[in-house]
Amino acid sequence: MRFAFLASTLIIVPLPAFAATSAAADEIVVTAARDGYAARRSATATRTDTDLILVPQSVSVVTAKQISDQAMHSIGDVLRTVPGVSLNAGEGHRDHIVLRGNSTTADFFADGLRDDVQYYRGLYNIERVEILKGPNAMIFGRGGGGGVVNRVTKRAEIGSFARFALSGDNEGAADVSADINTPVTTTVAARLNAVAERFDSFRDAYGGHRLAVNPTVAWRLDEDTRLDLGVEVSRDTRVIDRGVPSAGPGTLAAPARPLTGYD
């Protein structure tokens, strides 16, 4: 009988060790804003002040900083870049929007209270605009099938500041606004927002003006409770501009006539 043996030998040969080297990483400098215009909380979707990360509904928030940086003057300016919302003409005298396919002139709110008067809403006293989209907006009551637009107004703060703004365009429109806040006591503060606007356009027949004032008072009762009082008075006078008539003297190249050939 024959046996085969396999023998193996482990030979250890010392090798020189090389220290690991790596090039120093280049420094990266980020100059962009960390949060930009992002809002963290909203009181519209749940009717309570809630962190947006906990809200399952679709909510868009346009902050005061974005309104100021982009020189917005109307609700139409605010909603122009909000997804799921489009604008209608409003017959030249009111805000008219389409929220997820639902046309409405009434689904507007101010601090959670219904604001369905037919007029153009200003932004002089607005802290932010919150848009709740979808049928969950039915928590606000009648209407709201496509969503609601809630304007959150500025409130008095315990502090002192004054801001003034002036703007105009090459058509003749102009406005001047004031935002003045002052403490009355250590727990009471008062704030006044006011605006004077002149409307004008490239259309000769259009014009008007608006005067509005919104005084508010805040009283901090304790660490968790505050009482806010405010009133807004606005006078808006403008020419209702429904556009150019489809038929009228001087608007058609040829006289109107019946369309024939279709029985």
- Stretch 23-33: mean pLDDT, rounded? 77
Helix ranges (H only) for the chain are: 64-69, 75-79
* pTM for this predicted structure: 0.76
Closest CA relative to residue 104, chosen from 112, 92, 96:
96
Phi-psi region of 76 (alpha: psi -120 to 50; beta: other; left: phi over 0): alpha
Let me know: does 179 contact 163? Beta carbons within 8 Å. Answer: yes
17 vs 76, residue with greater confidence: 76
Give the pLDDT score at 195.
Answer: 96
Candidate from 14-18, 136-140, 214-218 with smallest mean pLDDT = 14-18
Quote the tokens at residue 153. Answer: 């107004």
Give the pLDDT score at 165.
Answer: 93
Give the pLDDT score at 3.
Answer: 47
Give the pLDDT score at 219.
Answer: 94
| pLDDT class of 166 with cuts at 50, 70, 90 | very high
Give the pLDDT score at 233.
Answer: 95
Which one of 5-9, 19-23, 40-44, 228-232 scores highest in mean pLDDT? 228-232
50 vs 160, residue with greater confidence: 160
Quote the tokens at residue 260. Answer: 């024939």
Q: How far apart are CA 138 and CA 107, in angstroms?
A: 10
Quote the tokens at residue 145. Answer: 């099938």
- Stretch 13-23: mean pLDDT, rounded? 57
Quote the tokens at residue 116. Answer: 């369905």
Quote the tokens at residue 174. Answer: 């102009």
Residue 230, pLDDT > 50, answer yes
The Cα angle at residue 213 between residues 227 and 87, in degrees rounded to 5? 100
| pLDDT class of 145 with cuts at 50, 70, 90 | confident
H/E stretch holding 64 reads helix 64-69
Q: How far is CA 102 from CA 42, 84, 97, 146, 208, in A?
A: 23, 10, 8, 5, 30
242 vs 253, residue with greater confidence: 242
